[in-house]
A and B are shown apart, each in its own frame.
Chain A
């Protein structure tokens, strides 16, 4: 079976994952490696006065202790967007969990004991931190970053790390209804079940780093820049992550480990606890002030959005999250006038980073909730008001940008039908609907190498990270289709920068489109080479040779690829190596985001809930997801992604929130106190609907998928809770306590 496009073939790698054979980073043996432990303190903001290391140094097996003083000066800094993060706190900590020292020992127990002793012998002065949006904007608050580290930045003496204005059109002369509301989205953490793990080893050619990173080439670039090494001397090996969701996208402690490995001349390894993983990555929290004007028919006339995102102590990729989400924050609607003022605010909190949806769930919570409130005031059905504002396919709803690229109304209508939108509801129940639209990857590049081996089997080389979405499976389906080979004769190699060619990232739901196209082109390249090989082997001009998937036609003869390889190469044997690339629309300096999105990721979410008015507890009785995916190359995998994203959305809608005290400490650090959806929170009914019009830019008309499911869940849940209870809550999560209080105060 070679043509498996559109079929749910079983996931490649599933067998190893059900038998326990799959090796994640922490499962790999690193013979002779030193165990590393981070030393961090019990508050967000401290100035280190003195570190007494003699007790720690006496622990048997301790090989090295590094503090800021032991590192090169000025301290090496790193970051994917701005190199603002020091290897160790220098000397002020800027977030709870930022390491002030690091210990390397022969045993894990030794490293832990030494780290504990070091921590107990640190003389530090605690300072008041900035942990809320209001504090970050208060001119009287301390500065998170030093102005001298932000040269040529007009905001250097504020906690505004970056700000942007986006917009188009002219404000309306008059409006029937103007609503202005503020919505809040909490800090939440990725909680991949695999905690972060890293290793680094020096070798003849430089340094090799093992990390379950989603973007090995970003890590290579950042480590090389931080340590002053050529790219070729930094090798990244990235075993399949045990969940990423953006949290494993951008460098964390790899630069520090690489430095230690080179300095000590020995391999080093560090496995974070779940608590430390919480302290390493989170979603950007936000306050979004939305002022929306409507005519009497519910048409949107204007959106005026002030989006304040609380990023952490360092830029990480947070500034891109803010700009990208804010740029498209008006959602999938005709918006004649838009004015968006976006700010990324520094704080003494965990550096916020990419997290499924990349800022869009925060913006959607505000804009979609506001649309639901407006619909109620205007007396228009929530589905109908959306229908009236949706652009048709091909319509440029953001002037000058990628037009609407799907039949979005079809998704809305299918969700409306599937949830039973117009059916009567018993008391205590409510329904809500919401749309989500996310800008996909803009300027980025993917390369793939496909090798057609002498026996007709195939090796594919790709830097995409198979972190649960099933990239290997889809790529094998694509290569199988293009070369007429069964996926079980195709092997994918991923995640080693010494072996696989460049790829920008596994992010933005881009891999099926970008890497998929690159693999198609590498296969086309192989077919062209086969044509030349056949022409030479059989002495027939190239114009009488045609190559299709699995078949070579030479004049009147029909041959297999293997026959052509055998006849073309003869006894010395050989193979064909195809290279393919996709750079999308390319970098455009005039575009606010540096390039147009290749496609829009569009999803309609509809939920039905039952609220217990005595306790405020929400039970999700039905959940419907309708996504416009162009073409589902493996429908089961697409549906599973949509469902997983929606479940994650139920998490931040109903229960998840990192709770900080006034010293900036996370009080619900870890699995006991941070609530995550479990099987007990599953929707009673769940329907995934895929809209397939084969109108995407990827192989066979595919668009990206995997983030859509999370985008609109919160606003749909918020509207459903309102219908069930009559209370409108504009701050997530909608915990039982928050709902119960709102009902009591009604």
Chain B
């Protein structure tokens, strides 16, 4: 029966609100799950070849002229420093006389920003273990590898042998992975202030034994 307009006010509202509960459930569960599993670190990789112990060596034909002998630049990492050698012989300690029998670039004591080494010591750890670990951010003195001198040496070698791109890295048994990555970093390219990055020895070969 048709009702008078004044009697139509008991209508229930036809328009219902969208039931958001399932959608909110989804969001309330997915967002914390994704937040927990998100890792805010960026990953990169370094290509390394090891023909000495691998079965199939990298099939790269030598690009340099055949009459130039390969340099075979070898960096040996010990807990006393870096020793550089090439096919011409072992490079002697920088700044010392020819008779000295030490690493080419010995470790130095220097101020280190603890931010990268929280909870541990910077490499070479065997030398730094006697001190307290890096607890707070801030500079502290440790024995560290002289990466600045290493880069300088690499630049000199690159100037002398501009077509060489290969670097062999060997190390003592207890040298840590981080120290080796540091050598690879120093040898990959050099970034001088104002100049562009210069590629040094990006091809890395890891050698298992000691020289």
User: Do A and B belong to a common assembly?
Assistant: no
